[in-house]
Structures are given as C-alpha cells and as structure tokens.
Amino acid sequence: MYTTTNENGILNNYPVAPKMYYSSYPDGLQQRRYLMQGLLATTFVGSLLLTALACS
C-alpha cells in the first residue's frame, strides 16, 4: 500500500487499482433474461401505481 504524509502529518492511503477488462456483448439467453426482468419490473411498478391509485 502506498502512503504519503501531508504537512499536518495526516496519512493518505492509496488503494491498488484493480485490473481492467472489457465486457462481452450478452448472448441470446442473457438478452431474453434481461427482457423478462424488464417486463417483470414494469409489471410490478405498474401494479404498485394502480394499487396506490385505487387506494387514494
């Protein structure tokens, strides 16, 4: 770990940066999962809004 000291004697710790990597484009199965998660989230939020509207 690298540390430096400023004029007040306070230590500054610098973390080690992680190794960077490139992501890959999702395949067909992952895309379908993302679509299903989006549809489920949209349905859930829509039902919450409709419930709030019905209760008010």
Q: What is the CA radius of gyration of the chain?
A: 24
Structural domain containing residue 31: 25-56
Q: How far is CA 33 from the centre of its chain?
A: 17
pLDDT of residue 40: 98
Residue 11 lies in a domain: no
pLDDT of residue 1: 55
Find the angle CA(2)-CA(18)-CA(15) to the nearest 5 degrees. Answer: 25
Domain count of the chain?
1
Q: Please state, in angstroms and rounded to a whole number, the distance separating the CA atoms of residues 7 and 28.
A: 56
What does the pLDDT look like over 7-56, one tens digit per residue?
Answer: 787 777 777 778 999 999 999 999 999 999 999 999 999 999 999 999 98
**Is the pTM for the entire model greater than 0.85?**
no
Is pLDDT larger for residue 6 or for residue 27?
A: 27
Residue 16 lies in a domain: no
Q: Please state, in angstroms and rounded to a whole number, the distance separating the CA atoms of residues 56 and 52.
A: 6
pLDDT of residue 8: 82
How many helices (H) does the chain have, and how many strands (E)?
A: 1, 2
Residue 45 lies in a domain: yes
Residue 18 lies in a domain: no
